[in-house]
Amino acid sequence: MYRYVVADVFTDTALRGNPVAVYLDARGLDKVTMQRIAREMNLSETLFVLPAEADGDVWVRIFTPVNELPFAGHPTLGTAVVLGETHRGDVLRMETAMGTVPFTLSRDGGGRVEMVTMEQPIPEWSPYPEADHLLAALGVEESTLPVEVYRNGPRHVYIGLPTAADLSALRPDQRELAEHLDLAANCFAPWDGRWRTRMFSPAYGVAEDAATGSAAGPLAIHLARHGLAEWDREIVIHQGVEMGRHSVMRARAVRGETGVNRVAVSGSAVVVARGELDLGET
């Protein structure tokens, strides 16, 4: 039996945000079985917790229904909330394929984790060479900012729209989007001093994502680089509105003398289910 917890992430309300399944002790599971379990759970990501191998408290592996990711935002942040039930410290360090990622746990008076801040890997970025085809697949004539791709594990490309109404009206061609391999298309628009986003990634087995934590940090960089946000000032991102799973993420990008030196993303999560997976082992 393998115990798991389901948490709704980037929300404090059940049945909103983005769900993640967290397997609390994945020892004995190989990569093939983890992938099959992720397909069985059929969530955008499933995370498997393993004993630490280097400088972390735990080692984690993250799977979409179709592939393994070296890093992802909402599943790791949700896992930090879940593990915070038994981990009594204020910092939790997760070993990932992108390095060890620290999470700061903020607790209420009863010790419950109510907010988590992750220090994300600093991405690399460049112009996206297939921008015209991507815009056509999304049904967008042009982007308000240059179409650029950022990698912090997943590959995120950013497409700006004038208004949140334009964002809500998107009806992308999923077959055409699937031709953009190893890529998540993040569309964003201003919204009353905040930002609204939608993410589409058939390449990662996710038609649309309710909250994409790994995309929140690079968006803060993208907006600051192009003068639509301030360095070292938090932006608030709302996602999942069109899906009925409203999520709220907070992101901050800090630039030093040699470039971006810190990317932080914050949010909350709520546990909504606990269970056991029976693989029929004897």
Cβ count near 151 (within 10 Å): 19
Rounded Cα–Cα distance for residues 189 and 196 (Å): 5
Rounded Cα–Cα distance for residues 122 and 128 (Å): 18
H/E stretch holding 166 = helix 164-168
Q: How many residues are recorded in the chain?
A: 282
Q: Does residue 281 carry a catalytic annotation?
A: no
Alpha helices in 178-231 (DSSP H): 213-225
Q: How far is CA 220 from CA 27, 150, 238, in A?
A: 36, 11, 13
Cβ count near 70 (within 10 Å): 16
**Could you tell me which of 227, 206, 229, 203 has the C-alpha nearest to residue 217?**
229
**Could you tell me which of 49, 66, 65 has the C-alpha nearest to residue 57?**
49
Supply angle C-alpha 192, 194, 199, rounded to 5.
120
**Could you tell me which of 235, 155, 223, 161 has the C-alpha nearest to residue 198?**
161
Catalytic residue among 45, 95, 148, 208: 45
Active site residues per annotation: 45
